[in-house]
Structures are given as C-alpha cells and as structure tokens.
Structure 1
C-alpha cells in the first residue's frame, strides 16, 4: 500500500443546536473512518479546560494541516460580528487564509441550504453538504481535498511532439501525436478510441510509405533505414498491447486493414516507376516484423480469438502484387518473408538465418521478447502445415520460420504447448490451428521428405544439423490424447 500522509483537520463550528452538534460529530466520525485525523472540541475539551485558548491553539497549531468551517446561519453571523468563540476563530482564520495555512488548506462546508458564507470567505469555493441527494458526492470532494487527491488534476507535462523538436538521436517520429492520442484514448476508455487507433495506424502507414531507396544506396544505408524504423515498432507494440487490454474486437479489424494496405508497397507496376529489390525487401521485412510482434502480443495477452481471426482472414492483393495474376485473395501466407537475394547479400558472416539474425538485432524485449517472436514464427509455420495438409499442398504453401532456428536448441516444447497441459488453454490453441488434436504432427512426419526439402518439409537451415522437431515443440507425448 502506498505511503499516504494522514491529514490532520480542525473543525470550526457553532454550537447552534443539539441537532447541529450531532450533525458535526457524525461528519467528524465519517472523516476519521476514512483515514482523516480530526480535532474536534467535543473530543478534546473536558471540564475545566479553556475553550477559547483551545480554539486559538488549534488554528495556530502547525501539526493541523487543514481547517474545516461548518457554515450555518449562526456561524456566519458570529464570524461577521467577530463575536463568541466563532468570532475568535474567524478573526484568526481570515488572516490564515493569506498567511501560514494557505488559501487551499481552509474550506467552508455548508450545513444549511442557501446559507451565506462569512464575508472573508464569500468569494471562495465551498463544499455543500446541505443537500441529502448530493451528500455522498460532496463528501467525497471533502475527503479528496483533505488528502490533496482531487478528481480533476492537471496531467504531468509530457514531451513535445517529435515534429516540433527532434530528439538528440535525430530520429523524428511523425506518428508521435497520433500515438499519444491513441494511447490516451485506450488507457482511459474514451468514446473515440476506435477513431484514434485508426488515425494512428493510417499515420504509421503514411510514414512507412516514405521509406524510399536509391540505386546508389549501400547496405549501410539499408541498415540505417532499419535502425530508424525501430522506434516506430516500439510505438506499434505499445499501442497493440493497450488495444489487447482494451478488449474490443473492432480495433483488431483495423489492424487487418493496416496490414493489407502495407502489401501495396510490394507492388511492381509494369512500365511504372521501377522499384529496387532493396526497397521491396525492406517493406517485406518490416511487414513481417510487425506481423510477428502483433501476433506475439495477442498471444501474450491471451487474445486467442484475435489470433485465430488474423490467421483466418482473407486479404485482398494489390493488382500488381507478386503472383496476383493467379489469385486476388490470400490468407496470412501473403506475409510470408522471402527474399530475392538482397537481404541474403547483407551477410558479413554465415548465419543459419540472416532474417532471424536481423530480427534478433531488431528486438529489444519490450513487451515481447525475441524468444516469443521466434515461437510465434513457429506457431504460424504449424498453422500453415495444417492448411497444407487440408489442401494437399506443400512447398510454397508453407510458412518458412525464418526466426524459428533460434529456439531449436531447446529440448522443451514451445511455451504455448507447455501451457496447453491445462485443457482450457489447449482448447484455445486448437482453435487457432483449427484442429481437434495433434494428429497432424504424425502425419507431417510420415509425409516429410527425408532430405528436408520436399512438399512437407521440416525446415533445416544451411550448415545446421538440426531441423524442426515437431514432437518436442508441440509437447506431443503429453497432449496427443487431449
């Protein structure tokens, strides 16, 4: 529990009637029950004590952090006339408002409707406990005032949008404004949450479209462009994580549209402005990264319905997308990463998977870890195997898990299949894969090409003696009968 300072409050009031005194005592008891230390003459003074000296002492007591004036007609009259104990207190209070206690530490509480406040307090904001219908609401205001925790508080000053002041890194995120508005809408559950996320994704797409390559660009410039895109990925992950917490399926349809739009940057239009292989592969790579992060965050938040929806979605291909002459629509395999040689040429040393290595360099374990991205890559591969078996196809219809190698040295199942020993969790994973059991694992092993490159292959990277072990990764022995 947070260490919250206990406010100490002195209540100044008039002994107008026994009923009024009881009303004040009840209020004081309520405040004490809510963590407020109350100094009340009824509790502090006994026979033989000097009441006037007590009042003066309390108003001047440095340990008293706040003062409440209970306003009824008699209190106001005595305060204005400076008569009786109330007059003594109000003389001191009128001075305290501008000196030691401060103007925000003394408040008038109305105990009667339409009562006038003392002249010295007339223009100041009060709390009205005279209306029974609004008593609870006003009491909360009083308690908040005592603790200094107000309902409406100015937010902490943020940083200027990057289009106003570029950061020291020189990386300017032109999505910054849309990002902050979307995050705020998601966290506060605002009515405009759908439109704010839509605006962010559209702005991100616009910024992605600005990445252009020149024939004179070197691989260092390719890496520099990738490096500059990392900050956009971090924003994307934060937005996606908040969207999962918000739990609104309409938001995720915006992501489907966003990813579909990204396909247009891989078009090669005949007789149009030529696109360099480097540029096309750049767009393929960053789209692949965003897809892996999106699905990984969904899985981490156990948004399994959204994972299944994404993998079952049918995406419309741009007119001049690769192989679009054969089909205008495709499933998630449209985001499969393959290269025409440029990314492969970036290798300065031999990697089992240059794409997996670049993903590792690209990852910062913010929200989802590199291992989680690799496991997601393998889950999508498994999904593609299931579809390939249904359609009696293989080869190009299978997702190549470029990052999967980085979990192949493990002798344990993927996290989602380890957690699938719990029946309810496994039921969700089966929905994603659209299976009733893990029988497909044995089927693939029976059909696989012994050399690893047939229609139903178990990926093995060049120079590696390891290949995907479906039995281990799917926790097959423990789950086969579930």
Structure 2
C-alpha cells in the first residue's frame, strides 16, 4: 500500500474564532492523525517567513491533498461571505474549485456551530452541500467517524455490487408470466421490514392472478387436448422460480416461526380452490384443474425443500398439518391435509403419455425434473422433499383412514432414484438433533413412536409397494429414509 493511501493527506480550513473553537480544531486534527490521517494544520506546518496565502492556496489546490475539511462556524461564515482575511482568500479558491467541478467530493463542510434558530452556519458557496455535523460535544464522535469513512472511502452504507438480471427475465423466461411485487416482498423479508406481511400477500395475490390467466378448458373428449394443458404448465416456469426464491427467503430469514408461513398457506389453499369447478362455470371437466394440480404439487415440494434446507422443523410441521380448504368436483369445499396436493394428473401421466407413446413411468416427474436448477431448488432437493412427504404420509396413514380410504403421498420423483439410494437428509439422521428435528416435522414423539406408526401403515400400503409407480422397479422406501436409524 502506498504512503498516500495508507496515510491520506487532509487540509483543515478554519477560522480562529475563540479558545473553544480553537480547541475543537486541535482535537479534530489530533484525532485524525491518531487514526492514520496526515492532517495539515497551519499551526503545525506554516513556518515563519512563509507566505500564508500561498500556503493556503497550495493546500486547497494540491492534488495530493485528498480532502479539505471546511470547519464552519459563525466567524468562518462571516469572513467567507465578506471575502475577508485568510478565510476569505481560502473561500475564493474553494468556491472556484466547487463551481468548476460540480460533482466534487474533495471539500467537506463540517458544521461546528448553529444559530439560535438551529440553522447551521455555512458560507454561501457551501449552502446546499451535504455536511458533517460536529456542532456539539455529543456529535464529535459520530462526526469523526463519518469524516474518517469519507477520507478512507469506507462508507457506512456501501453500495451493493451489481448482480445478474433475475433468472426469470433471462432467455428461458422471456415472455413468461411473472408476479409483480416479487422483488419487494423478498427484499422486505431479508431486511426484516415491518411491512413484509403485506408485501408477501401482494406477491402471492399477483402470482395467483397470473395463474388464473393460464386456466385452460380443453375438450377432454378430443385427442390431443393435453397439449393445451402442457403449454399452460410450461408458462408457469417463471412463477415457479420466483416462488423458489421466495420460499428460500422465508425459510432463511424468518427463523423457525410457523407464523411466517401465512402467505404460503394462502397460496396453497387458493390453488386448491381451483381443483373443482369455477364458481362462474356451469360445466366442468376434471382435467381443467390439471395446471393448478401440477403447480400446487410443485409449490408444496419447493416449500418443503426450503424448510428442510434451513432445518425449520416446527414450521415444516405446521405446513404439513395445516387444515387446507379444497374445492371438490361437486363444488363443495372440504378441509383436507397436505396430501391433497399429491394429485394424479391424468392429462399428463395418462393421456399425453399414451398419445405420444412415451412409455414414461411419470411424465409429471419428468416435467418436475426438467424445471429444476441449482439456483432455484435442485432436483435432488425436490426429490428429497418428495420422499420426506412420503414418510409423512406413511406416518399418518393409519390415523387418516376415512371410509376405508387412507391418505398417503406417492413420491413420483423417486423414479429417478436408485433402489438403494439413501437421501442426504436421512443420512444425517445419525445426528441426534437432526433426527429429533425430523421427528418434530413428521409429528412423531420419538423414534419408537415413528416406528409404531410406520408398522401400522405397512399393511395398508402393501408393504409400501403403493409408494412405487406402476412400471417402475420398486421404490425402496425404508432404505431411502434410512428407516433403521430414523426410528432409533
């Protein structure tokens, strides 16, 4: 580091107004030198025989002097405005520099005195300039800190570096619907602003409004109707990525506070309201809801993945146990659990799969995978969330039996997992704290309690064979969730 940068040179311009002000000048100059600033003061540097006016002019115009502190009090203002004495000479030079370089930062006004009306004493050529306030003993420390930051170019609020344009605005997202208020909501969450709840809800409502524009009503009796639904789903990609960033912010900056999921509950519930006939429609075909079924499935997995990422176990428990209001095909609204968002999407997994002769185990799983990215929830995280949901469904299958029917979650993304693959979260279950966190999220009091729930579900799910998809080799549920360790 050069001497100029390590010990920046600063000239102090002032008026000898009285003993109290003189002491302030000396205290400031001494403090600056103590902090590595080469403060130039006439009392220290002007020698007998030297021309004081030449000295002053050289200090003001010297390019090696990085800052000129203009200490303004009543006397300085009077002399500067009257162009009297040494202050008048300095002020003429400074004013010329200021007016010649409108955007200058070399000259820093320092207010050392105020009038009875509280108005700062500043010469005319300094009016309108941002100043440092050292008008009282209480403000000296804060003012010194501000001056040092200016001298060493270390602002209290540094300008953030420019990042890349949002992913949803890049090539893959050009022309795709995106929700307004997204950036404002995420910023409010990260900065802990008091208006975050309102901004979050505005973002969610904007997202839902964009989704409503993608509602399609193809004639399911005609071959190829699936294409219209498929294209509508593709158009939700930018919304999906926004939701991923939003979920990451909520999980990362809210602590483990379930109350912060209020907007997420609203989003899922409103998506579930589209599972049945629209209120303004007399006709309804079940496949019309498939765009919303797919998106709600994806949203659920993204939210779960984010909460797992930050180990927000209590919040995850609330997400899984919240009573969601879902509209049925008969237009009734019923209370349901999270498994309602694991819908069979006939237009994709049946009609499109058969029409294209794709012979895929799950076209829905294919689409979920294709839409993943490292920046917006990776596929491994999504698949892990899917398997976690399967574990939750298993743990509550027995308790959820109604009319010989029981809710469970079939992890369709498991078609991409090897039969012996153990997922990262469950590998970490060897750690007591993580294992207990998983128990909390699942709603199990202990490993033994979880084991009893799993054993009760085993015959209901045909030894967990129902968790596997038809043509796909059997999904090894016990291995994927590290069941032996998890139930310790």
TM over 0.5: yes
Checking the alignment, whether the CA contact within 8 Å between 1:408 and 1:466 is kept in structure 2 is: no
Is 1:70–1:110's contact at 8 Å kept on the other side of the alignment? yes
Offset of residue 125 of structure 1: 4.5
Change (3 A) 1:453 1:123: closer
Q: 1:336 aligns with which of 337, 342, 355?
A: 342
Q: 2:295 pairs with 269, 276, 286, which one?
A: 286
* Aligned match for 2:200, one of 193, 197, 201: 197
Count of residues paired in the alignment: 466
Structure 1 residue 106, shift from structure 2 partner: 1.8
In the TM superposition, what is the alpha-carbon distance from 1:167 to its structure 2 partner? 8.7
Match of 2:136 among 128, 131, 135: 131
Residue 193 of structure 1 deviates from its aligned partner by 1.1
Asked if the contact 1:363–1:370 (Cα under 8 Å) also holds between the matched residues in 2, the reply is: yes
Query: Where in structure 2 are the equivalents of 1:23-422 lying within 5 Å?
Result: 23-31=24-32, 38-42=39-43, 44=45, 51-100=52-101, 102-114=103-115, 116-122=121-127, 124-139=129-144, 141-143=146-148, 145-146=150-151, 147=153, 149=155, 171-173=175-177, 175-176=179-180, 178-211=181-214, 212-215=216-219, 218-247=225-254, 249-268=258-277, 272-318=281-327, 320=329, 328-340=334-346, 342-347=348-353, 348=356, 349-390=358-399, 396-411=406-421, 413-422=422-431
Residue in structure 2 matched with residue 435 of structure 1 by the alignment: 444
- Give how far 1:138 is off: 4.5
SS of the residue aligned with 1:329? Answer: strand
CA deviation profile, 1:337-367 (whole Å, cap 9, x unmatched):
2133543232343333322111101212324
**Distance across 2 between alignment mates of 1:153 and 1:339:** 48
User: Does the 8 A contact of 2:276 with 2:286 survive in 1?
Assistant: no
Provide the residue aligned with 2:469 in structure 1: 461
* CA RMSD after TM alignment: 3.9
Does the 8 Å CA contact 1:414/1:473 hold for their aligned counterparts? yes
Q: How many Å separate the matches in 2 of 1:76 and 1:271?
A: 74
1 CA distance for matches of 2:345 and 2:406?
13
Determine if contact 1:67/1:105 at 8 Å carries over to the other structure: yes
Structure 1 residues 105 and 13 mapped into 2: Cα distance closer, same or farther (>3 Å)? same
Mean CA deviation greater in 137-146 or 149-158 = 149-158
Among 468, 475, 481, the residue aligned to 2:482: 475
**Structure 1 segments unaligned to the other structure (5+ residues):** none
1:407-464 Cα shifts (integer Å, max 9, x gaps): 33454x3222222322222221111112244444587479746xx9627536333444
